[in-house]
Amino acid sequence: MLSRRSILAIATLLVLTVAVAAVIIGSATQESAFAYTQDPYHPDHRVDVEHYTFRLELSDESDEIAGRASVDIAFRESGVDTVRLDLVGMTVSDVTVSDAAATDPTNENNRNSATSDNARAVAFDHQDGVLIVPLERTARKGERLRIDVTYAGVPEDGLIISQNKHGARTFFGDNWPNRARHWLPTVDHVSEKATVAFEVTAPNHYQVIATGELVEEVGVDETRRLSRFKGSVPIPPKVMVIGVARFAVEESGVVEGVPISSWVYPEDRENGFREYARAVQVVEYFIDQIGPFPYAKLGNVQSTTRYGGMENAGNIFYSENSVSGTGASEGLIAHEIAHQWFGDSVTEADWYHIWLSEGFATYFTQLYMEHTYGRERMNTGLAAQRTAIIRYHQRNPDSPVIDTTIVDLNDLLSTNSYQKGGWVLHMLRQQVGTADFWEGIRAYYERHRDGNALTGDLQDAMEDASGQDLGWFFDQWLRRAGQPQIDVTWSNAEDGGVSVLVRQLQDSEPFRFPLDISFAHEDSTSEPVTVTLDVTQKQQTFQVDPGVQAATAELDPNVWLLMEGDISYSGRR
């Protein structure tokens, strides 16, 4: 007998075997725990990257970087004799493999040592962005080793070396979704999380920020400084970065021991500090609601990211135009900060579940707005998003939120992943109630913190919190395209109640949802009364008693339902 999720896993595996066999290495031994991974790039899950140390030298003379990466690996299975790393466009000069004794990741000296005593050079193969490292023997399950890669080149992508809007030279990592490989030898997949240390040598007129805590800054010579950062929790390569520029830096506050700082271009100092200081309130709210902040610090950094903002772990990179001084970036700041919990700490195990990042960040922005400015503010935002979702659906009628037909990862950044994903959380909140919603969210974070999750993991947490079976809900809103299209007519009944006819007009099978309708008396000074109908069929008639002599009716007055709908009076007046 198979569980529901196993059945799904088998169905999706059949699809992907056809689509994407070309890039799979070691797929024959993929563990069942990872068998549901659907997207095209399959890391070899016999190999677990535990830690990266990236040593990078930057200069003003050219855009060439010199790097040496130590990749600390543990083997989940015996029998591995080569390790695949992703590295595009760089020239590799040397690869060595060191055995376990030198690479115990719990040994700080080993982790930081420049070379290992037993390192042996190996005949690597580097083609088409793939670095194959032969171990020259077969690794045993549980064994650890270190691969050191020495490389250099001008990054074509990933590390963006350019000029900012003030004409100053800057260096910013910008890895999403799989561009870390242009400057960092990695297993560049969202499910392969590891701790990371950066050791950056740069001209000493720059400030350097990077993932992790700053552990040392030291002058190397007259003109250069080494900055060492060390992260202590595993994160995916998409959010491992450095930022090197002339910055003005200010500490905006400390929340629950987490220092929150602003890093802005000196020209934007005043506006930037004011704008980014809002992060303190946002972090306070999310810690209260979700649980502890996952990282040792939060830097809010003005940068040249191609996105409006990029949720790099512990140091968010915002677009350079995010600094206006008007407070217009508040929603952006809330979105990227929400990602620290969802996307960075609890990371989708599979790209097709990206709504667990983007839908969360989108809805948590609305939750922050509700908390800060009231329900009306959130409702306005949700109503606008609903319009966008319906429009997107008209153009993409067959595309559900979890859309395994997407080939280009950039296409995942859609209205479905963001706005509809956010709306699904909103409807989930109505389905289970606000208290159970937060209990489920907290459990989901606690269980998957610093790890990976799929949609089923969220469902489990929400079912545990609410005691409800939510399979139908997750299937309907995430694996099925579209939303109900409803037409409601109502009339006053003889007995003083109201008769309501609800019809679902979409071609497909009925959706199941609670539908709020508020009825109001002619006298506009009396409060409207809201009734909730449990809609499950294509056509249903309800007799309700709103307790007022109804003169007007409004569909979904509190903005809880993703639908297109109309309501009209059908009876005699």
Q: Which residues bind Zn ion (CB under 5 A)?
A: 358, 361
Nearer of residues 311 and 516 to Zn ion, judged by Cβ: 311
Q: Tell me whether the omega of the peptide bond preceding residue 177 falls within 30 degrees of 0, making it cis.
A: yes
Nearer of residues 268 and 358 to Zn ion, judged by Cβ: 358
Minimal distance, residue 337 CB to Zn ion, in Å: 10
Minimal distance, residue 414 CB to Zn ion, in Å: 12
Helix 434-448, helix 279-290: angle, nearest 10: 90
Can you tell me the distance from the alpha carbon of 363 to that of 421, in angstroms, rounded to the nearest whole number? 8
Tokens of 335: 């979105």
Can you tell me the distance from the alpha carbon of 257 to that of 295, in angstroms, rounded to the nearest whole number? 10
Nearer of residues 30 and 455 to Zn ion, judged by Cβ: 455
Angular region, 488: left φ>0, alpha ψ -120 to 50, beta rest: beta
Nearer of residues 103 and 416 to Zn ion, judged by Cβ: 416
Amino acid at 558: N
Can you tell me the distance from the alpha carbon of 54 to that of 201, in angstroms, rounded to the nearest whole number? 11
Sheet strand arrangement including 144-153: 120-121, 91-98, 144-153, 65-75, 47-57, 195-203, 224-230, 213-219
Can you tell me the distance from the alpha carbon of 532 to that of 544, in angstroms, rounded to the nearest whole number? 9
β-pairing, 485-492 vs 564-569, is: parallel
Minimal distance, residue 497 CB to Zn ion, in Å: 47
Minimal distance, residue 356 CB to Zn ion, in Å: 11
Nearer of residues 275 and 358 to Zn ion, judged by Cβ: 358
Query: How many C-beta neighbours within 10 Å does residue 163 have?
Result: 10
- Measured at CB, which residue is nearest to Zn ion? 361
Dihedral angle computed from the Cα positions of residues 81, 85, 88 and 91, in that order, rounded to the nearest 10 degrees: -60
Helix residue spans in 374-420 (DSSP H): 375-395
Name the burial class of residue 118, with classes exposed (0-12), middle (13-18) and buried (19+) by CB atoms within 10 angstroms of its CB. Answer: middle
Minimal distance, residue 319 CB to Zn ion, in Å: 13
Minimal distance, residue 361 CB to Zn ion, in Å: 4
Minimal distance, residue 462 CB to Zn ion, in Å: 21
H helix count then E strand count, the chain: 11, 29
Nearer of residues 176 and 542 to Zn ion, judged by Cβ: 176
Nearer of residues 235 and 517 to Zn ion, judged by Cβ: 235
Nearer of residues 210 and 361 to Zn ion, judged by Cβ: 361
Nearer of residues 12 and 300 to Zn ion, judged by Cβ: 300
Dihedral angle computed from the Cα positions of residues 338, 214, 113 and 107, in that order, rounded to the nearest 10 degrees: -60
Nearer of residues 358 and 564 to Zn ion, judged by Cβ: 358
